[in-house]
Amino acid sequence: MALAVLAASCGDAKKEEATIIGKHDIKIENGLMTPEVLWSFGRIGGVNVSPDGKKIVYTVSYYSVPENKSNSEIFVMNADGSDKKQITRTPYREAAPKWMNDNEYIAFLSNESGSMQLWKMKADGSGRKQLTDREGGLSDYAFSPDESKLLFVADVKYGERVVDKYPDLPKANARIVDDLMYRHWDEWVETVPHPLYADFDGDKISNERDILEGEPYESPMKPFGGIEQLAWSPDGKTIAYTCRKKTGLEYALTTNSDIYFYSLETGKTENKTEGMMGYDVNPVFSPDGKWLAWESMERDGYESDKNRLFLMNIATGAKKDLSKDFPESVHSLAWTADSKSVYFTSCVKALTQIYRADIETAKVTKVTEGVHDYLSVIPAGERLIATRQSMSKPSEIYSVNPVSGEATEISFENKDILAQLQMGKVEERWVKTTDGKQMLTWVVYPPNFDPSKEYPALLYCQGGPQNTISQFWSYRWNIQLMAANDYIIVLPNRRGVPGFGMEWLEQISGDYGGQNMKDYLSAIDDVAKESYVDSDRLGCVGASYGGFSVYWLAGHHDKRFKAFIAHNGMFNFHQKYLTTEELFFANWDLGGPFWDKDNKKAQKSYTYSPHLYVDKWDTPILVIVGEKDFRVPSLQGMAAFNAAVIRGIPAEMLVFPDENHWVTRPQNAILWQRTFFGWLDKWLK
């Protein structure tokens, strides 16, 4: 679909005001996914259930390619999906809607006044009123159970500026750095989020207090932590918060975060997970106030350790691992109303389902089945409200029977678009690896697949490296979009991904160029034997660790592939170790710094650095980088591109000055996809 057509489809939403972005009314003539169609989907988020369990509020984000931005609006509906209404339609961003105790009013964040502030309105969208007017705004919030107080997250200053040290140089454009981590993911660290609370009288806040009392720590933890890392006790007397109370080099070397209790009555703080050395995050109090559940990893420095469901008896302080006999990681904890069980999601064998753990017996029951991924779960009376996606469908809201697991879609945000699209078949395939194990590999076929024809095939290399290729839906690495371009996509869950046991997960550490690379080749070789695959037209693509995989395979593929694409991949391990930020990751997976000659794991790891094998490169390669990527700095990709050009290998580089480890802006994303398929079509068709 041309941009001009997409611009026209936004017309109705812009009649009220030029900057309003609304739902796209598009017509798809050939039934095939395109980048423009992909960016017309509404994206559901912020799902919240009313206290009486009868209503749901949520947001939908819409994107405008011509205006190169997005906006989010608020919707409400009954818990059975009936009486769905859009209650905001503004040029402002609305986010984090939450029902208030009366089941009639909804609190939410909006940037209508400039910065994100707290507002409220009735469930029909009327009576809109601003509740806060803080300098700098706030990023998320949670009312105390009786709504007499407001817990919220706001940024506070971190470190000293040049102008602080030299007031007579106010126009000096520089930073003075004396420790790590001075930048993180995509920002120079000049602020950190803090949890604050204030009195609330229903219309405004007062008497604001910083729970950390100015300490130089972050809570919630960047870059991904939000309000889920904070929690009110049911009696409103305690705030639990997640924090890694370290700074500088020490912060860069550890994952040892803890759960702290802050008493509103005494102002005192107590570390409730002291001595537990890995990530401890996302505390959730039981409704009866007797228990605290949270997600816990055992080992310091290992960000991909098993995520356990831990439980603490608040009266005695006794702790137990409720998931001790459950083999995989748990996420998205939610208590049952009777405080006897905890719902969670877990990815097992590349499918993410809802489970329930009984706190007395530690018995874990699987609630749902099917080829999909559940992303969240919220108990709502006699049902569960959950979000779910798959490789063939973006996230929608479902009502789930907690006994039978039967799920009924209730949001239907993208029904009209999906009804016009032909999706490629998603097939589960088990491939024998070189060491005799079975590996789950997804194979996705073109929408109008004809087994009598020959198709080019793409090997998709997963990032992480400890990320399962489950039933994910992506707005960049969209598998159905790849298939719609007449490619067969091969997606192996190679060594190093969760969902197949800890041995499978942990084998990859220290062995980046080893067994998992053999797994990749086993998968593509197995599929390439099929009569409908043209083995002379194979491509290999990936980002992050997947980008590293592309660089590594470029020097070790024995002429299997005819085209490579690497996005934000690691190319030179030696340089990467000294230019990334979270050093705990490199220390765990690579074994430590390259100068530690007595460390056998590290010395082996650095032999897998792709830059050492450029002399064996022989295949056209597209390199993509984001200059705001501080996790895998853009010079990694630039070095790879330069090496290819110097060696006379056909190469192209796509550089995004304003993107980080991902690509988030609509026009940048469509440029990414056009460049991606342009390169593949040039060399594989």
Output the domain CATH number for residue 346: 2.120.10.30
Residue 621 domain flag? no
Q: Are 455 and 539 in contact (CB under 8 A)?
A: no
| Residue pLDDT, tens place only, 247-304 | 999 999 999 999 999 999 999 999 999 999 999 999 999 999 999 999 999 999 999 9
Active site residue 629: yes
Q: Report pLDDT digits (tens) over 562-584.
A: 999 999 999 999 999 999 999 99
| SS3 (DSSP) at 84 | coil
Handedness of CA 314, 330, 541, 476 (dihedral sign): negative
Locate 309 and state its tokens. Answer: 């469901």
> Which among 329, 544, 549, 634 is annotated as catalytic?
544
For the stretch 320-375, pLDDT in tens is: 999 999 999 999 999 999 999 999 999 999 999 999 999 999 999 999 999 999 99
Q: DSSP string covering 13-43, please?
A: GGSS-TT---------SS----HHHHTTS-E
Each residue's pLDDT tens digit, 490-539: 999 999 999 999 999 999 999 999 999 999 999 999 999 999 999 999 99
469/602 same-domain check: yes
Per-residue pLDDT at 676: 98
**In-domain check, residue 280:** no
Kindly state whether residues 358 and 444 are assigned to the same domain.
Answer: no
Of 184, 194, 567, 661, the active-site residue reads 661
Residue 13, pLDDT > 60, answer no
Task: Give the 3-state secondary structure of residue 151.
Answer: strand
512 inside domain: yes
What integer pLDDT is reported at residue 546 of this predicted model? 98
DSSP of 484-536:
HTT-EEEEE--TT-SSS-HHHHHTTTT-TTTHHHHHHHHHHHHHHTSTTEEEE
Residue count (the chain): 685
Give per-residue pLDDT as tens, 635-683.
999 999 999 999 999 999 999 999 999 999 999 999 999 999 999 999 9
- What is the residue-averaged pLDDT of the chain? 96
User: Could you give the CA distance from residue 326 to residue 468 in angstroms, rounded to a whole number?
Assistant: 17
Residue 434 has a CB neighbour count (10 Å cut-off) of 10
Res. 11: pLDDT tops 70: no
- The reported pLDDT for the residue numbered 29 is 87
Do both 448 and 416 map to the same domain? no
Dist. CA 475–CA 665, nearest whole Å: 11
Q: Is 611 annotated as catalytic?
A: no
Predicted confidence band of residue 12 (pLDDT cuts 50, 70, 90): very low
Both 445 and 520 in a single domain? yes
With residue 590 as reference, give the H or E element that holds it.
Answer: none
SS3 481: helix
Q: Does residue 488 share a domain with residue 407?
A: no
DSSP code per residue over 434-480: TTS-EEEEEEE--TT--TTS-EEEEEEEPSTTT----S---SSS-HH
Position 6 pLDDT exceeds 90: no
Residue with tokens 């979000």: 387
Nearest-angstrom CA–CA distance, 563 and 620: 5
| 407 and 441 belong to one structural domain | no
Question: What tens digit of pLDDT does each residue of 454-489 get?
Answer: 999 999 999 999 999 999 999 999 999 999 999 999
pLDDT computed for residue 19 by the predictor: 73
Exposure pattern of 353-366 as b/e (b: 16+ CB <10 Å)?
A: bbbbbebeebebee
Task: Judge if 455 and 541 occupy the same domain.
Answer: yes
Does 9 have pLDDT greater than 60?
no
Shared domain for 596 and 463, answered yes or no, is yes
Tell whether 328 is covered by a domain.
Answer: yes
What is the per-residue pLDDT across 68-124, written as a single tens digit (0 to 9) for each?
Answer: 999 999 999 999 999 999 999 999 999 999 999 999 999 999 999 999 999 999 999
Residue 587: pLDDT band (50, 70, 90) is very high
- Statement to judge: residues 390 and 411 lie in one domain: yes
At 291, the amino acid letter reads W
pLDDT score of 24: 87
Overall domain count for the chain? 3
372 is catalytic: no
pLDDT in tens, 157-186: 999 999 999 999 999 999 999 999 999 999
Whether 403 and 490 share a structural domain: no
CATH number, residue 522: 3.40.50.1820
Which residues 6+ apart lie within 8 Å of 110 measured at CB? 90, 92, 93, 94, 95, 116, 117, 119, 130
The active-site residue out of 486, 589, 629, 634 is 629
Last residue of a domain, one of 111, 127, 143: 127
Same domain, yes or no: 401 and 508: no
Does the residue 459 lie in any domain? yes
The answer to whether 488 and 446 are in contact (CB under 8 A) is yes
Residue 189 lies in a domain: no
- Domain boundary among the residues 77, 93, 127 is at 127
- Name the band, by pLDDT with cuts 50, 70 and 90, for residue 8: very low
In the block, which residue shows the tokens 């390169």? 679
Q: Same domain for 543 and 575?
A: yes
Cα–Cα dist 57/70, whole Å? 20
| Domain limits for position 528 | 427-613+632-637
Last residue of a domain, one of 127, 161, 180: 127
- Per the domain annotation, does 316 fall within a domain? no
Position 188 in a domain: no
